[in-house]
Homo-oligomer: A and B are copies of this chain.
Amino acid sequence: MIQMEKNKIKSGAYLYPMPVSLIGANVKGKANFMTIAWVSIVEQKPPMISISAHQSHYTNQGINENQTFSVNLPSVEMVEATDYCGMNSGKKIDKSELFEVFYGELKTAPMIKEAPVNMECKVIRTIDIEKGHHIFIGDVVNAYAEGKYLTNGIPDVKKFHPMIYSMGDKHYWKFGERIGQAWSIGRNFKKI
């Protein structure tokens, strides 16, 4: 029997650290971006991604209007711009000129050139959990990256430097050391 004392703790959102994304949408015909961490891959074939964003976000208006959005993974070098987009609502400031914006096949999902990885997504499902947030599930129609961030055609975290956000201490973090390979290091496991 392992000796440890488990305490019941406040069951808040700060328990789960997550990577940071800039979500893009056209609102009233202009590119807008919001900073969120509640983004998750949900399907592999075809690739799908979910985002959860409070319905009060200005960006949500654009997603609802066009049924498209983009997911842009900023690098650690973009931490100030990323936080700026989280601190300032599109209701108050015009974010359409903050970045070099490009569009893909979907035409209404603005993507950020400076962000190393971009995905343009088409909404296939909107889930209202009736507590304030909307979950948008999107088909990842296309993804983009510069060649310098790729290894064997796939974005390489050692090259594109994504950020992780922990709500507990409200800080952005870098990736650290590589610990081990999946589907492999588990072979060493021995139950003590």
Contact = CB atoms under 8 A, between A and B. Distances in A.
Interface of A: 1-2, 4-19, 37-50, 52, 71, 73, 76, 79-88, 97-98, 100, 102, 113-114, 117-119, 124-125, 127, 129, 131-133, 135, 137, 140-147, 150-151, 153-157, 162-189, 191
A173 B182 contact: no
A9 B171 contact: no
A95 to B, nearest CB: 10
A172 B21 CA distance: 20
A129 B137 contact: yes
A53 B117 CA distance: 24
A10 B143 contact: yes
B18 A131 contact: no
Contact of A42 (B4, B15, B135, B189): B135
Nearest to A97: B191
27 contacts: A1-B100, A2-B100, A5-B146, A9-B155, A11-B141, A15-B47, A15-B155, A16-B39, A38-B42, A41-B52, A42-B52, A44-B132, A44-B133, A50-B50, A50-B135, A79-B179, A80-B186, A80-B189, A83-B182, A84-B186, A98-B191, A125-B129, A157-B168, A171-B180, A171-B182, A173-B178, A173-B179
A143 B8 contact: yes
Given A179-B173, A182-B172, A40 B11 contact: no
Nearest to A129: B43
Given A114-B2, A175-B175, A180-B172, A13 B86 contact: no
